[in-house]
Amino acid sequence: MKSIVVIVGRPNVGKSTFFNRVTGTRKALVDDFPGVTRDRHYSDAVWNGVDFTLVDTGGFPDNDEDDFAHKIRSQILQAMEDADVIILLLDGKSGISPFDEDVVRILRPLSQPVFFAVNKIDGVEQEGKLYDFYNLGIEKLYPISAEHRYGVSDLLDDLIEILPKTVTEEESDVVRLAVVGKPNVGKSSLINRILGHRRLLVSDTPGTTRDAIDSICDIKGKPYLLIDTAGIRRKARVSKKLEKFSIIKALRSLDRCDVALIVIDAHQGITEQDVNIAGYAFDRGRGCIFLLNKWDLVEKNSKTLKEYYDRLRMEAKFVSFAPILTISALTGQRVFKIFDIIEEVFKQYTLRLGTGQLNRMFEQAIVQNEPSLFRGRRLKFYYATQISTRPPTFVCFVNYPDAVHFSYKRYLMNQIRDKAGLDKIPIRIIFRKRTGKERGVRSKRRS
């Protein structure tokens, strides 16, 4: 699992700008108006080869009519529960506020490492503004400018030094299953049905499950690890602070699993957020199975099943490989058929192809459909090898890696799927430039 780094601070100190700078994205909305970031933003980041997940939180309102101190403490402590490292961002332009003192007081006794960064320090000539912040009792301050990059590299260099080492789940025969979906689609009911007892709290109130919960079960003599998660809501509907932090827990569960069981409320119909959740799993290279739950409540005719399948395939084309199964966690309808499909997916997910077999596949595919010319020169594919499983990942050495068009990459992936029987999982192909040692697959000119 990737380490979680959470950014906290009062409104308008530059948290979103810092988030965008580190992640290289524009996911976080940036504006001078305080409180623009109302929901959680998260993105994977990498610095000097170290991967981590960065979380941008909304600024804590310092003029709320409600119990402000209680809200500050509640949200920060929730963030600390999920975070491996915290960055408190301070505003070097406006100086210390009473709020900063309150937050430092809350952070001080926590066990997680805390980095104190003073933002809007645009150069060494402005570092004199740090002196007032030492009155907060902080030993080390990092002067940075998220907008102009000043000091950011020094902060990140020190941060990655103390990040927990990335934990890789031990590869074993235990299949790890993350049960994910929107709130109230029947995830906990499904696990209870599989386990045969009410292991998890089940309620009609969305958001009952706050944390990821692990359960071991044995199906036909094979062990499975079931990870139940809090429902993932659409950002616009994530209003309770507790539910916002639950999203991170669900993403952590996806980082740990082999196969994501994406539970959809068939009675409600397929929604945009169902597709978004599939995207989270796909981005992490997980096997996916769509479970259309509450199928017993759906009014059916001869075309009903086909309509659901077609809609899901159209909305989630990027996971067109994912099997679809209709179930009812309430009645048990087809619940245990899930495990037959899981076995098919897991077998493909852990498959390793021999180098000779793989290169013959590439050679046949290239002969059948040669790539287009690049600046008048022929693309040459020299050698292919599989570098990992979960999902199967292949490296192909080519003379111009950046010139391989995405449509030709998709063609090669489809050829591997077809010839190797990898029709139910994601696969990855990486193109690299030949170093002179590779040999094997070559594109053949047509006579």
- Identify whether residues 181 and 255 lie together within a single domain: yes
> Kind and range of the H or E element at 362?
helix 355-368
pLDDT of residue 110: 82
Last residue of a domain, one of 118, 136, 162: 162
Q: How far apart are CA 230 and CA 4, in angstroms?
A: 18
Residue pLDDT, tens place only, 239-280: 444 444 456 667 778 888 999 999 999 999 999 889 988 998
Task: Judge whether 17 and 146 are in contact, CB under 8 Å.
Answer: yes
Task: Judge whether 439 and 385 are in contact, CB under 8 Å.
Answer: no
Supply the Cα-derived Rg of the chain in whole angstroms: 25
pLDDT of residue 76: 55
What three-state secondary structure class fits 181?
strand
Q: How far apart are CA 177 and CA 387, in angstroms?
A: 24
- Identify whether residues 43 and 72 lie together within a single domain: yes
Instruction: For residue 440, tell me if it sits in a domain.
Output: no
Instruction: For residue 442, tell me if it sits in a domain.
Output: no
How do beta strands 175-181 and 259-265 pair? Answer: parallel
What three-state secondary structure class fits 284?
coil
Torsion of CA 104, 106, 108, 113, to 10 degrees: -90
Last residue of a domain, one of 162, 191, 225: 162
- Identify whether residues 74 and 189 lie together within a single domain: no
Q: How far apart are CA 346 and CA 176, in angstroms?
A: 10
Residues present in the chain in total = 447
- Identify whether residues 142 and 198 lie together within a single domain: no
- Identify whether residues 13 and 123 lie together within a single domain: yes
Q: How far apart are CA 133 and CA 121, in angstroms?
A: 13
Residue pLDDT, tens place only, 73-127: 555 566 666 688 999 999 999 899 888 888 888 888 888 899 999 999 999 999 9
Task: Judge whether 260 and 289 are in contact, CB under 8 Å.
Answer: yes
- Which one, of 380, 357, 356, lies nearest residue 370 by Cα? 380
Q: How far apart are CA 381 and CA 389, in angstroms?
A: 22
- Identify whether residues 145 and 235 lie together within a single domain: no
- Identify whether residues 214 and 258 lie together within a single domain: yes
Instruction: For residue 140, tell me if it sits in a domain.
Output: yes
At 316, which CATH number? 3.40.50.300
**Encoding tokens for residue 342?**
């899981």
Instruction: For residue 444, tell me if it sits in a domain.
Output: no
- Identify whether residues 260 and 200 lie together within a single domain: yes
Instruction: For residue 419, tell me if it sits in a domain.
Output: yes
Residue 234's domain spans which residues?
175-349
How do beta strands 175-181 and 114-119 pair? Answer: unpaired
| Peptide bond between residue 391 and the one before it cis (omega within 30 degrees of 0) | yes
At 424, which CATH number? 3.30.300.20
Torsion of CA 379, 380, 386, 391, to 10 degrees: 10
pLDDT string in tens for the chain (447-residue length): 678 898 988 888 998 899 989 988 654 444 444 433 333 466 778 899 898 888 877 655 555 444 444 554 555 566 666 688 999 999 999 899 888 888 888 888 888 899 999 999 999 999 998 999 999 999 899 999 999 999 999 999 999 999 977 655 555 678 999 999 988 899 989 988 998 854 544 445 454 444 455 777 888 888 888 887 655 555 554 444 444 445 666 777 888 899 999 999 999 999 988 998 899 899 999 999 999 999 999 988 878 899 999 999 999 999 999 999 999 999 999 999 999 999 999 999 999 999 999 999 999 999 999 998 888 888 899 999 999 999 999 999 999 999 999 999 999 999 999 999 999 999 999 999 976 555 545 444 443
The reported pTM is: 0.63
- Identify whether residues 235 and 366 lie together within a single domain: no
- Identify whether residues 76 and 124 lie together within a single domain: yes
- Identify whether residues 119 and 181 lie together within a single domain: no
Instruction: For residue 445, tell me if it sits in a domain.
Output: no
Q: Give helix 15-23 / helix 152-162 axis angle, nearest 10°.
A: 70
Q: Which residue has the tokens 């993350």?
A: 178
Task: Judge whether 245 and 207 are in contact, CB under 8 Å.
Answer: no
pLDDT of residue 102: 83
Task: Judge whether 86 and 114 are in contact, CB under 8 Å.
Answer: yes
Instruction: For residue 295, tell me if it sits in a domain.
Output: yes
How do beta strands 222-228 and 213-219 pair? Answer: antiparallel
- Identify whether residues 320 and 379 lie together within a single domain: no
How many domains does one find in the chain? 3
436: left (phi over 0), alpha (psi -120 to 50) or beta: left
Instruction: For residue 276, tell me if it sits in a domain.
Output: yes
